[in-house]
A and B are shown apart, each in its own frame.
Chain A
Amino acid sequence: MRGSFAGLRIRERRRALGLSQTALAERAGISPSYLNLIEHNKRGIAGKVLLSLARELDLPPSALSKEAELSLIGDLRQAAADMPVDQAEADVTEEFVSRYPGWARLVNTLHGQVRAQRTAIDALSDRLTHDPFLQTTLHEVLTRITAVHSTVEILATVPDIPDDQRARFLRNVNDESARLANVARELTQYFDDAVEQDQPTTLPDEEVERFFAQRQNRVPELEAEAADTSTITELLQASELRGEEARRRAQTRLSAYLEEARALPLEPFQAAARKTGYDVAALARQFGQPIPMILRRLSRLQRRGGAGPLFGLVSINAAGHLAERIALPGFPIPRHGAACALWPVYQSLAQPGRTERHIVDLATGGRFITLTHANYADSGTVGLPGPLTSTMLIVDAGDAAGTALTTGLAENTPAVAAGTGCRICPRPACASRAEPAIMTAQI
């Protein structure tokens, strides 16, 4: 099913421009029969062909790129899963994205905004309920009003109050009024400050994800030999990250990136990776670095001239929270909520220190090789474990063929029949299913 969207879009765009297959093929420098195969999804497109077709059709190359489309499809399926009451036709998501990419992006953007606003509402609700300042202030207001109300009621209804008592009551009311005015000022200032903080409208994780996704998960500035922590500061200052928490998380990830870039410089690492056939154990020995760092570094490598495998990566903490996600075409990673429990990255948590390899068949039709490794960070305290992280490198089985990634892997090795997440997975009989799927048809 992978790569099946560009064909339809090319055909529709060509027709909209009034071009014949022959005319477009000629302009793009390919044969009409090859264009016919592309339009009927019998051939994928990449590289020069993709660029020339995009140019002739007056489309941005990303409009014909399956990576962007697959990511959008995954996000829309998640949107449908988040709002099942709306009965979106989730099983035709691919067609929707293909035919109406603008609308699809709009729906996805709106879904993101709805989620962010829901989170903001929850946070505000929590704040109103539990904020110590608001709790104290409300108590103060009620106390002052009680004093004023009780005193004024006496002054208004009791005719024979002695003069000295009346004078004291009036003074009390005056004092309480002044205190109430102070509380009102503090409350106003409190909400003014909250507005000035300019709360971000997206989640910190999403901001950080966007920051890295826009850079295709690679930060050339940190690959430079002279890069240091001031480079990170400059990157953050120049970034569009708005929330304090998002900046903090981005800084943590960039610091880890810098550490990896120093330990495994890109050029020699890429050369060694090719030479060893992407043998992670050999690379770990050669560079004297831990396996998880090798896995993360491999996910930063880009294809050169269309050669070499392309990697995705997932890392989770001990609670299963997705800490890092580098998407790979055909292997969607849920942006929110739990991923498939069968992903080897979860199994790896039970076997820290071991590097495991699995074949994973996704419900969407792709076959992938995964390498996983979980490890504890040092807690610095005797008797207490540090944070446990599990890292999973993902590579298309086709890309991995002939490399060390598949060396020794018997053909009859059982594959893990996994999905993306239960709600968008069509495997009805899965023993690990945690909740019903929103789709029954094959994706």
Chain B
Amino acid sequence: MKRVLIVEDEANIVESLIFLLERDGFEVATVADGAAALDRIAAFNPDVVLLDVMLPSLSGFDILNQLRGSDAHADMPVMMLTAKGQSKDRDRAMELGATVFVTKPFSNAEIVAHVRQMVGQEKADGG
């Protein structure tokens, strides 16, 4: 089963994403605090990370930067989720190595399609 880690501090958004991705066959874990995200990534070893930008204590940009600087997670697929849709934020995310940049409000189908694409499958295979 492919693993998705959601790094997001908005509980109701997290609940929708968990429902959608688990229903699509992914194993989902969550973390709400930026500073705890790197440890959670190391422990959970996800196939995809959904990463919000505005997080308590450490921003999504900082987390992405550290991920790309580590040997273990330099190529890990990362989808940036942000309410900051300005082009400069998109540029910054892509410069730092984001795989996909999605602005809020997003559609559920868009999220699921991107996650499937990032794990290299049209449909999650359940294992």
Contact = CB atoms under 8 A, between A and B. Distances in A.
B10 to A, nearest CB: 6
A143 B19 contact: no
A143 B83 contact: yes
B83 A150 contact: no
A153 B108 contact: yes
A194 interface: no
A153 B16 CA distance: 9
B15 interface: yes
Interface string A135-156: 0001100110111011101100
B44 interface: no
A154 B12 contact: no
B89 to A, nearest CB: 12
Interface in B94-108: 104-108
A89 B10 CA distance: 63
A176 interface: yes
Nearest to A140: B83
Interface string A156-185: 011001000100110010011000000000
A400 to B, nearest CB: 59
Contact of B12 (A157, A161, A172): A172
B23 A158 contact: yes
Interface string B7-19: 0001011011101
A175 B104 contact: no
B16 A147 contact: yes
B23 A150 contact: no
Given A151-B12, A153-B107, A175-B12, A146 B20 contact: no
A223 to B, nearest CB: 57
List of 4 A-B pairs having minimum Cβ-Cβ separation, nearest first: A142-B83, A146-B104, A150-B16, A146-B105
Given A146-B83, A154-B19, 18 more contacts: A138-B83, A142-B104, A142-B105, A143-B13, A146-B13, A146-B104, A146-B106, A147-B10, A147-B12, A147-B16, A149-B107, A150-B20, A150-B108, A151-B16, A158-B23, A161-B19, A169-B16, A175-B12
